[in-house]
Amino acid sequence: MRILSIYLFSLALLATPKGAPAQQEVKADNKKVRSRAKANTAPPTENWGVLDDIKKGLQPSAGTVFQHDEMPDFVRELVRVEWRQGDHFDLWIIRPKVTGKVPAVLYLYNYTDVGERFQDNGWCKRASADGFAAVGFTSALSTNRYRNRPMKQWFVSELQESLGSSVHDVQLILNYLAARGDMDMDHVGMFGMGSGATIAILAAHVDPRIKALDLLDPWGDWPDWLKSSPVVPDTERARYLSPEFLKSVAALDPLDYLPVLKTPSFRLQVTLSDPATPDIAKQRLAKAVSDQSRLVKYTDAQDLLKAWKISGLSGWIKQQMRSQKPKEAALRAEERSTIAR
């Protein structure tokens, strides 16, 4: 009986024409299911061309404290965050030992920086002096943030991603600081140097929480910068001057945003001898500052150090944030008076 059943089942299979409607429907349904599954599991793409779009392709973590150092004048925390799979990075948060919420300054140096200064007790003491918190981090595709990437990819070769991701980083870092509850988010400043200054300009343009901005030798004016900067290897230069590459970074040129920055306090420091940025690009960036009183020029590095010996690295930006408080208090008093009338 069992043999007969198998024989009859085999005949039924042979009698079914290839590509019969029932089979076609099953195949079509399976294809739809696989397509939907693929669509649901494929991560959305981060939108580097839209600076204030931090929703697509990002899943911010709450942050994990990996290190906590108690010093006489400050507390230093190493917080690891990750909002892109495989791209965790460190925030160094240095908070003065005072009660209540404190104003904060973000520090972002050139893409070659690995964040060693944020572990230096002397730097941390100076940065957190006068009741200010310091928040240090490194940019996307910097020396310690291109893990699992091909060696041929680096900050400039992926310039759109490097800048766009880092601008999104700044906004998400501010979100994290606000969620902590120990920072005065009405008084946030940012210091940027080199490529970090470029990122700071772009971030301040889209995030009004940055109230003071101190810029030193930003990169920009991409057609001229990519054409002549010694940062770009000659063997790679032709690729970066192609219409496709220039188009990809056109919306990320600080030259377009400096004239329209609404940040209450900012200054642009330019070192004339800085080799990274060609003279023509320096001139155009300086000219883009509508209020030339915000522009400070140094002949060379020694000239810059002389100025910093007087006010310190963060002296200017802290002063700007302090001076904003009386103005804001007066505005709030005027608003209350208007409502009372």
| pLDDT, tens digit (0-9, with 9 covering 90-100), for 188-229 | 999 999 999 999 999 999 999 999 999 999 999 999 999 999
pLDDT of 217: 97
Query: Which residue do the tokens 């991409």 mark?
Result: 222
Name the pairing type of β-strands 74-81 and 102-108: unpaired
329 token code pair: 């208090």
Q: 173 and 91 in contact (C-beta within 8 Å)?
A: yes
pLDDT of 151: 85
Does residue 53 carry a pLDDT above 90? no
Using a pLDDT cut of 70, give the percent of the chain over it: 82
pLDDT of 325: 60
* H-only helix segments in 128-210: 159-180, 195-206
How crowded is residue 159: how many other Cβ atoms within 10 Å of its Cβ? 24
Nearest of 139, 278, 273 to residue 220 by alpha carbon: 278
pLDDT of 12: 37
Q: 103 and 133 in contact (C-beta within 8 Å)?
A: yes
Average pLDDT over residues 164-170: 95
pLDDT of 334: 44
Nearest of 183, 199, 193, 181 to residue 104 by alpha carbon: 183
Amino acid sitting at position 202 = L
Q: 198 and 219 in contact (C-beta within 8 Å)?
A: yes
Element (H, E) at 213: strand 210-216
* Per-residue pLDDT tens over the stretch 297-312: 999 999 999 888 887 7
Does residue 26 carry a pLDDT above 70? no
* Per-residue pLDDT tens over the stretch 11-24: 333 333 333 333 44
**CATH superfamily of this structure's domain 64-329:** Alpha/Beta hydrolase fold, catalytic domain (3.40.50.1820)
pLDDT of 339: 38
Task: Give CA angle at 226 (146, 145), nearest 5°.
Answer: 10
* Residue 25 to residue 102: CA distance in whole angstroms: 64
Amino acid sitting at position 188 = V
Average pLDDT over residues 92-97: 97
* Per-residue pLDDT tens over the stretch 120-155: 999 999 999 999 999 999 999 987 787 778 889 999
* Per-residue pLDDT tens over the stretch 254-300: 999 999 999 999 999 999 999 999 999 999 999 999 999 999 999 99
Does residue 320 carry a pLDDT above 80? yes
* Per-residue pLDDT tens over the stretch 232-259: 999 999 999 999 999 999 999 999 999 9
pLDDT of 44: 58
Spacing of C-alpha 53 from chain mean position: 12
Residues paired with 107 in a beta bridge: 136, 191
pLDDT of 41: 40
How crowded is residue 215: how many other Cβ atoms within 10 Å of its Cβ? 28
Nearest of 101, 142, 108 to residue 213 by alpha carbon: 108
pLDDT of 307: 87
Query: Which residue do the tokens 């429907």 mark?
Result: 25
